Structure 1
Amino acid sequence: MTRAAYSPIPTTETPDIAESVPQWTSLQKLGFRLLFTVGGGMLAVTGGVVLLVTVFGSVVGFDEGHYPCERLLWLLAQIGSYVARGRSVEITRSAGGDMLWMWCFQLGWIVVALPITALWTVMDRRRPNYRSMAASLLVFARFGLALVMIFYGWGKVIPVQMGYMPLPEHQLQLTGDTSLFNTLWGFVGASEAYSVAIGLIELLSGLLLLWNRTWVLGAVGAVISTAQVFLLNLTYDVPVKLVAAQLFLVAVAITCPYWPNLARVVFNRGGTRPVELWSPLWADNRWLRRAGVVAKFGIAALLLVITGVGGVMAYIGYHTPSSTLDGVWRATSFTIDGREATLNQADPQPWVNVAITDRNKVPKLGVVRFVSQEPAGYTTRWLLTIDGDRLELRKPDSDITQVVLRATQPDQDRLVLTGELDGKQIKGIYERRFMERSKSHFRLVSPPIPMDSVR
């Protein structure tokens, strides 16, 4: 053998592992720990509970029982309340948000997250970086945002979120007496086509967020949608400002890897560069990846089915009158103790218009209400129980029947109400009133509009 056979094979130098791993500064690591515990915790605790509460309230209802996870809600709310106010706060049920206990709940989680961050800092000081955890946080934020966008988008594509506004009970309120919240809800609810259009943007954004190839496009759609929702909620006093703001922040935050490219395009500073996202935790485990994909699409599909079925049932209920009593009625005669009522009549005042909503075809999703209107335009909302020709009216905050009326109909467009109101016998003869809005429809060619009507 020649000497060359025994020559050592040249090898490349193996770089020092410590030098190849990116090192984050102590401040960067502390900042991420705070982001992960506060932001990630709010995503998991706040976002999860809010979504669960919303779905629970929409599908199951809050007529009986409590909020899901109410003990956790209560504990965090008390922590936040004692820090901010020095006393406890009551958990109250509401169809909206932004209540005091919800703000305290948010503060309570921040208070809990701070010692968690401190303990984490003490126990994990030597880790070089948190790239994998940051990538995992982005993935979970995408998924959480996708679920919320799907939920609210589906509620507009099947126009039920604001779909109750065209019901008879909402038709007598004077414009000047209508709150900003109801003005916005009525504006969207008045046009199913518009509701479907904005719902499609939200729904498609949520669906696009589920796929790795399309999630950036979905995130852009979510930024636009949540920005609009937050602005509307803020300016029209819709009591969901807190959640809307959080959704907007999540939508903006998950796009942060692409901000440099966006800045280059906006300021024309050179070409864009490919973005390589960090790998999340356990990305190399094929079985965990597959399980995550199955769970992701399984939960999204379940949400679509549950809210879709509930939405269709609610839509059917809203648009299916249960009797000919349903509608808006105009008084042609109203007598009190046998004498014709006058416009300045008091104790009781005559009901010049009434609206009856009798949409009770779908169990648990029925709407049965009675609204009376006085000559001055003020309206009174009553809960209604219909038993044949007997109408039982009670105030929303009362469990006791306050007015009992007997309803007869000579034909489907006429109604006679008799009974006792404020200790006096009343009789109202009504004819069905067809609202002017029912004549409105889409037109490419519009009739002339008087010039002074827009001043």
Structure 2
Amino acid sequence: MKVTQGISAEPNWNLTKRIAFRFFFVFFIFNIVQKLGYYIPAVLGAEDIAVYINSFNQVWAWIGQNVLNINRELHVNFNGSGDTTVNYIFQVIAITTAILVTALWSLLDVKRKEYNQLFLYLRILIRYYLALTMFLYGFSKVFCVQFSEVSNFDLIKTFGDQSPMGLLWNFMEYSNTYTRFSGIVEVLVGVLLLYRRTVVFGSLILIGIMLNVFMMNMSYDIPVKSYSIVLIVMGIFILAPDIKRILEFFVLNKVVQPKIIAPYFSKQKHITTGYIVKGLCICFLILSSINFFMKIKQERSEKSVLYGIYEVEEFIKNNDTLAPLTTDSFRWKRLIIDKRNSGVQTMDERIVHFKEKTDTVSKTLTLTSYKDSTDIQSFSYIIKDSLYIFESIYKSDTLKIKAKKKERDEFLLINRGFHWINEYPFNR
């Protein structure tokens, strides 16, 4: 069963086009296989995709140290960054491999005049890969996983202490409405890429979205720069057969004839089978992506019973009340309990992060240091009206801490809300 209708019917490609196709064929396959190596486990419900990412990274790190002579330790454990040294080593390997294979391919296949059929297959693969990528990025926003909500830590952080990436993240996290809108657009682009009648429209939007993403990555130092470039190039690649028609219609104001989109297969049973397989693939891509992020959303939505920000009003150490001196690195200023991270802000503005566990039956709060698992602070707590009293014996010191909870809606950022009518700009 052979696909009979190609993208291009050109019987003879010029040398430049043939060489360019060979290069991009290898380069794209290299990138797609690597990403699918952990995209697929993710959508299939793998518990920890970092295991798959780290496996790839170990290979690239070994090549970097033993072939490229990079004489320093390379971080292979996944931490969310797509711009690590190992990531760039991978792209160097991908480009180098593409060049070498292209050279060998050109020598061995010198008589070949066109790659219409192979181009068609590659274009289909890239379309579905980009669709999956858009679904993953899109649904991560629709379910507010990539950008959840402004954390308690960020609410107390001064504007100048934010990183550029943190600033952009908080911008997105502030509004679930805008985040979901962005995600819906990305999901729609994924759907458009799956159909030949809409692939041009989808590619144009994808390139626009990814150009914006790339500029944000460059402007706010977000570590997904190299990957966003690859996605842009892929978008241009699948748009390439229609670029001339697009220019003639939008720029040169010429009449453009409709493209004839014939079935891939000549026999009806093959056409029907193709529709069924395609429908199953689309359902799998969408439903598995939704399931993946719903699961993450549920895991991350859990909150401690003490979730919140606590302003310390009185700090007693060994029956001695410590004055709130801004140079004191021991006295607490705030206790911050967040969804996946908790910590203490001392009077000198330093924040020490802890793993928090609250037992509502015994009324105890346990803070365990991330740096030293043996460094544990266990507090009993009671609530009197709006006052929270924490007591503990820590390293032979008796501690008694009185604090008041500051609700999230006490912050202007949270309570300002939306207004159709603004008599004056409220820009603070």
The verdict on a shared fold, with TM-score over 0.5 as the criterion, is yes
1:268-288: CA deviation from partner (whole Å, max 9, x where unpaired): 3533344468998xx557666
- Cα pair 2:327 2:347 within 8 Å, conserved: no
Of residues 326, 334, 347, the one that matches 1:375 is 347
Query: How far apart in 1 are the matches of 2:239 and 2:384?
Result: 64
* Counterpart check, 1:46 vs 2:46: no
Question: Offset of 1:90 from its aligned partner?
Answer: 4.9
Query: Helix, strand or coil: the match of 2:332?
Result: coil
**What is the aligned partner in structure 2 of residue 235 from structure 1?**
219
Query: How far apart in 1 are the matches of 2:270 and 2:354?
Result: 55
* Counterpart check, 1:134 vs 2:123: no
Pair 1:28–1:84, CA change in 2 (3 A): same
TM-score by length of 1: 0.80
**What is the aligned partner in structure 1 of residue 369 from structure 2?**
395
* Counterpart check, 1:312 vs 2:294: yes
Q: Percent identity?
A: 21
Matched AA of 2:378: V
- Cα pair 1:78 1:105 within 8 Å, conserved: no
Query: How far apart in 2 are the matches of 1:350 and 1:256?
Result: 63
Coordinate RMSD, CA, aligned: 3.1
Query: Helix, strand or coil: the match of 2:243?
Result: helix
**What is the aligned partner in structure 1 of residue 191 from structure 2?**
207
* Counterpart check, 1:301 vs 2:286: no
Matches within 5 A, 1:21-170: 22-42=11-31, 44-49=32-37, 51-52=39-40, 55=43, 60-61=47-48, 66-67=51-52, 70=55, 72-86=56-70, 89-163=74-148, 165-170=149-154
Question: Offset of 1:356 from its aligned partner?
Answer: 1.2
**What is the aligned partner in structure 2 of residue 12 from structure 1?**
none
* Counterpart check, 1:321 vs 2:306: no
Q: How many residues of Structure 1 are paired with residues of Structure 2 in the alignment?
A: 414
Matched AA of 1:41: F
TM-score by length of 2: 0.85
- Cα pair 1:353 1:373 within 8 Å, conserved: yes
Query: How far apart in 2 are the matches of 1:275 and 1:50?
Result: 37
Of the structure 1 ranges 141-150 and 216-225, higher mean CA displacement relative to structure 2 is found in 216-225
* Counterpart check, 1:246 vs 2:239: no
Question: Offset of 1:153 from its aligned partner?
Answer: 0.6
Query: How far apart in 2 are the matches of 1:315 and 1:73?
Result: 27
Of residues 264, 268, 272, the one that matches 2:248 is 264
Query: Helix, strand or coil: the match of 2:352?
Result: strand
Question: Offset of 1:441 from its aligned partner?
Answer: 1.3
Query: How far apart in 1 are the matches of 2:53 and 2:266?
Result: 36
Query: How far apart in 2 are the matches of 1:277 and 1:31?
Result: 25
Q: Which runs of 5+ in 1 are unaligned?
A: 1-19, 360-366
Query: How far apart in 1 are the matches of 2:215 and 2:200?
Result: 23
Query: How far apart in 2 are the matches of 1:91 and 1:69?
Result: 6
Matched AA of 1:271: V
Question: Offset of 1:161 from its aligned partner?
Answer: 1.2
